[in-house]
């Protein structure tokens, strides 16, 4: 496994996970009927590449919409990063008018023990 790149669709986000620099970016919308299926390769990538202590990882979440099934899978993904050996930080981007997405970011920040930056766009 190396970089993971998935093109976004009307239901699924675009994904760009790279090793150099080590960065995970998810953007667009995530509203698939079955989120587990979509997120599994993303979880597998973390398992395969985040085992080296001392490496830095930047996680960028830039979602316009996500359904509640995706919100659980996103939680799984962030937990997997949190439990890994890398030194990670999260940038949560939201539209300035979108207080719902800001709230969602605050919720993840409250649950996940990673440096979390909420960024209005």
92 touches other proteins (CB under 8 A)? no
Strand-strand pairing, 23-30 and 14-18: antiparallel
Of 107, 117, 120, 121, which lies in the binding site for other proteins, with binding defined by CB under 8 A? 107
Near other proteins in 18-47, by CB under 8 A: 31, 33-36, 39
Would you put residue 119 in left (φ > 0), alpha (ψ -120 to 50) or beta?
A: beta
Residue whose pair of structure tokens reads 């998810």 in the numeric block: 26
68 touches other proteins (CB under 8 A)? yes
| Two tokens, residue 110 | 């409250």
Of 7, 44, 97, 113, which lies in the binding site for other proteins, with binding defined by CB under 8 A? 97
Q: Which of 39, 41, 97, 96 is nearest to 67 (CA)?
A: 39
Strand-strand pairing, 23-30 and 56-66: parallel
What is the size of the binding site for other proteins (CB under 8 A)? 28
Integer angstrom CA distances of residue 120 from 61, 72, 86: 12, 23, 26
1 touches other proteins (CB under 8 A)? no
Of 36 and 85, nearer to other proteins (C-beta) is 36
75 touches other proteins (CB under 8 A)? yes
Site residues (CB under 8 A) for other proteins?
10-11, 31, 33-36, 39, 64-65, 67-73, 75, 95, 97-100, 103, 107-108, 110-111
């Amino acid at each position: 496994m190396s970089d993971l790149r998935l093109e976004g669709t009307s239901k699924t986000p675009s994904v760009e996970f790279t090793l150099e620099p080590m960065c995970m970016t998810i953007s667009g919308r995530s509203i698939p009927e079955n989120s587990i299926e979509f997120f599994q390769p993303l979880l597998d990538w973390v398992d395969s590449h985040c085992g080296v202590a001392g490496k830095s990882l930047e996680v960028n979440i830039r979602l316009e919409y996500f359904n509640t099934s995706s919100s659980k899978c996103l939680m799984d993904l962030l937990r997997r990063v949190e439990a890994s050996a890398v030194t990670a930080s999260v940038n949560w981007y939201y539209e300035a008018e979108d207080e719902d997405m800001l709230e969602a970011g605050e919720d993840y920040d409250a649950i996940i023990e990673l440096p979390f930056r909420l960024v209005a766009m």
